[in-house]
Amino acid sequence: MTKLRGNVSMLEGSGGNIAALTGRDGKLLVDAGITASRPRITEALASLSNDPVKHLINSHWHFDHTDGNEWLHSVGAEITAHENTRKHLSVTTRVEDWNFTFPPAPSGALPTKLFDSEQTLHLNGSTIALKMYSPAHTDSDISVEFTDADIVHVADTFWNGHFPFIDYSTGGSIDGMIRAAETNVAKVTDKTIVIPGHGPIGNKSQLTEFRDMLVSVREKVADLKNQGKSLDEVVRLTDLRVAFSVADLAFEADLPASIFHLQLITNDISDWKAKAQVITVFHTNAGHVTLNDDSYNAERKMATGNPYKKLLAELMKRGVQVELCGATAAVHNWGNEDLLPGIKVNTDAMARMSQLVQEGFVQITEWD
């Protein structure tokens, strides 16, 4: 839990970023995270104040922002969202790029206070301005601005340090993402604190970089199109080299967010039949993910074995190269014999990442 400014804090690592506003009217949260992290969210919120949670705003309909709706509603939160968030949560919804079909959410999880274009709330001595984006990441994205503290949660229109996921199945598009990025850049000043949907707290210059990155990706695709390649080919042509640096399994649960991101990008690659290389380096507080059952049990003082081994085996089967940082291995006295089959110890993570970046890899950093 990071205190930002005024009575606004941010909690990272349970699905999307969660913002919390404390005060007499009860806590207001922006986004609900995933249900598996309920105990840690409860603990983090209790560390802020004793106010009960009374208000929850969903930044958009995706499960990593709304999965916790039901339990938060059960402890007294009234849920506010754009009407399309309720629409998608109410029915069976397929997201092609996740290769996943979401069943309708239970009735307690559905937002009951809906709006269309904008709405202003006055709670805890603060003005909270909600505003919908035209379809960008989905067709249900909204920004939530804490006007007095000059803090804005921009939903998944901004992934700080990540290439964004765009949900074409429920209204998202690259052009919409660029429009939303323009809106964000125009809306904030150098002093504004920007809470991205994913990644660390950002500012105006990072929003600007993100917008420029999206524009250049779109231009690349447009160039290829002009050379007469079909859209299908354009996407498939992507020569993707991605290096994941994973230092921490924040909110370690059934599916830590970093491994989920790894799955997403691997899914994209196989869907596009892209020529791609994905290398993941686990280090620091995430090193134990690479251990075999015996060493995992010894390290974590558990008897369950390594719960991540199936996920990793599946990813490796699909071509992801998994490595453990040599410095992390040395600290724990781990050797290759302690690791899951197919995983190797490399030089230390920082040196390895610099080397991969020099070789043209895009670096994606998960919590370090």
- Which positions lie near Zn ion, rule CB under 5 A? 62, 156
- CA 359 – CA 353 distance, rounded (Å): 10
- CA 335 – CA 347 distance, rounded (Å): 13
Least separation in angstroms between CB 40 and Zn ion = 21
**159/244 with CB nearer Zn ion:** 159
End-to-end CA distance of the chain: 15
- CA 90 – CA 83 distance, rounded (Å): 11
Here the tokens at position 326 are 């040599």
Here the tokens at position 131 are 């505003």
**32/289 with CB nearer Zn ion:** 32
- CA 367 – CA 13 distance, rounded (Å): 8
Which residue has the closest beta carbon to Zn ion? 62
**175/219 with CB nearer Zn ion:** 175
Least separation in angstroms between CB 137 and Zn ion = 6
**223/271 with CB nearer Zn ion:** 271
- CA 222 – CA 285 distance, rounded (Å): 41
User: How much is the CA Rg of the chain, to the nearest whole Å?
Assistant: 21
Least separation in angstroms between CB 133 and Zn ion = 12
**167/323 with CB nearer Zn ion:** 167
**72/356 with CB nearer Zn ion:** 72
Hey, is 350 helix, strand or coil? helix
Angle between helices 174-187 and 204-226 (to 10 degrees): 150
- CA 90 – CA 61 distance, rounded (Å): 10
Least separation in angstroms between CB 81 and Zn ion = 13
Least separation in angstroms between CB 360 and Zn ion = 28
Least separation in angstroms between CB 158 and Zn ion = 11
Q: Cα dist. 22→10, 55, 129, 278, 337 in Å?
A: 11, 10, 16, 41, 49
Q: Cα dist. 23→8, 44, 64, 75, 347 in Å?
A: 10, 16, 26, 17, 48
**60/288 with CB nearer Zn ion:** 60
Q: Looking at this protein, which amino acid is placed at residue 29?
A: L
**61/308 with CB nearer Zn ion:** 61
- CA 150 – CA 194 distance, rounded (Å): 9
Least separation in angstroms between CB 110 and Zn ion = 18
Least separation in angstroms between CB 62 and Zn ion = 3
Nearest to 130 by CA among 152, 110, 112, 148: 152
